[in-house]
Amino acid sequence: MGRDPPRPIRLADLITTKRELALDKLLAEDSTFYGDLFPHVVEYRGALYLEDGLYRLLRAALQQRNQIHARVLVVED
């Protein structure tokens, strides 16, 4: 991922894969300092799975935004 430009994705369309949330990472000011600015999403069989970027997604939701720009990798069967 990283070659295709980010595209807008509705938060409601994303399926998360993590079970735990670390509040200190969510609230950290520099949480995206060392990583990609955009979440990574995998599109498989029409479903959008959040691969990386849960904290960016949660911050967007807390800011009452209904979409986020993400890099999307489409996986074919």
Domain ranges of the chain: 7-75
Please count the other Cβ atoms lying within 10 Å of the Cβ belonging to residue 20: 5
Residues 6+ apart with CB under 8 A from 53: 36, 38, 39, 40, 41, 68, 70
**What tens digit of pLDDT does each residue of 19-53 get?**
776 666 656 665 555 556 889 999 999 999 998 88
The reported pTM is 0.75
What is the reported pLDDT for 68? 94
Fold of 7-75: 3.90.1530
Nearest to 75 by CA among 37, 36, 47, 38: 47
